[in-house]
Amino acid sequence: MDDATVNGDGWLADQFQAHRPHLHAVAYRMLGSLADADDAVQECWLRLQRADTTSVANLRAWLTTVVGRICLDLLRARRTRREDPVGTWLPEPLVGPEDHGDPAAEAALADTIGLALLVVLETLTPAERLAFVLHDIFAVPFDDIAEIAGRSPAAARQLASRARRRVRLQSPEPDADLGVQRRVVDAFLAAARAGDFDALLAVLDPEVILRTDVGGTGQPPRRPVVGARQVATAIAARGPAFARLARPATVNGAAGLVVATPRSPLGVIGFTVAGGRIVAIDLVANPDKLRRVPHDPARP
């Protein structure tokens, strides 16, 4: 191998590393799994190494197209083999310390990776999800999306429009102020620790939904619980023991909780707060989705 080839390969690797965070962000929103996003980005790198990129004018756009195509294939394969009852799947959470940085940046992040949003995205067809994520979140032109999806640009536009309508109908717009979210979640935690039914009712929206993903724990799948009284009853009955192990954290850009012993995390709880009340509670207790969760999220 000559020096030009070595230097060229090094330049390409440097360029890919520069775009890796963007590619991982696209893949996570497409797949809802950090592990699958890692695999998609790695496959994108392998395809880049095999490709002739001499005529590529915009490498970032080219890589985004490639990772979008990989994610589309993964979504189609996952859709055919999934047998989970409705409501038992939740995304792998992104967990950070309670004070994670710029509140405005966290709010913007939550708008695109909130757990409730990712749950809705999971109900879309793979092509609809592709069109929505790439266009509405990453501003990819419909011509490029059409090429990935094997559709016309007009059809790609319709895919995004259908997905957008479903997201607006099913995913409540959260309160942007992280401080407001935290106060509501803190009140929820205090009520859960005390088993205080009335205090729980005070912070829950009348139509609140509680979703639980227990994954491969050996427990039977849990259907979503809907309604303030039903959710408050479930939390008051089972919550006090777990609430004592809960600590504040940022979960997918929003106020949340990590439930953990000194040895291992037991669960991550994401909240969607809208209008000063909790409209969705997402409990991830699937051990496979907790492997990257720090035992104490307050420590870096």
All residues at 6 or more sequence positions from 232 whose CB lies less than 8 Å from its CB, including other chains: 197, 200, 201, 204
Cβ proximity of 24 and 37 under 8 Å: yes
User: Pairing relation of β-strands 254-260 and 265-274?
Assistant: antiparallel
Tens digit of each residue's pLDDT (9 = 90 or more) over 17-75: 999 999 999 999 999 999 999 999 999 999 999 999 888 999 999 999 999 999 999 99
Query: Where are the domain boundaries for CATH 3.10.450.50 in the chain?
Result: 178-289
What are the tokens at 14? 């440097």
What is the Cα–Cα distance from 39 to 274, expressed in whole angstroms? Answer: 34
Let me know if domain 178-289 sits in CATH 3.40.190.10. no
Query: Where are the domain boundaries for CATH 1.10.1740 in the chain?
Result: 1-83
What is the Cα–Cα distance from 206 to 200, expressed in whole angstroms? Answer: 11
Handedness of CA 33, 34, 40, 43 (dihedral sign): negative
Tens digit of each residue's pLDDT (9 = 90 or more) over 97-140: 765 555 555 555 566 788 999 999 999 999 999 999 999 999 99
CATH number of the domain at 1-83, please? 1.10.1740
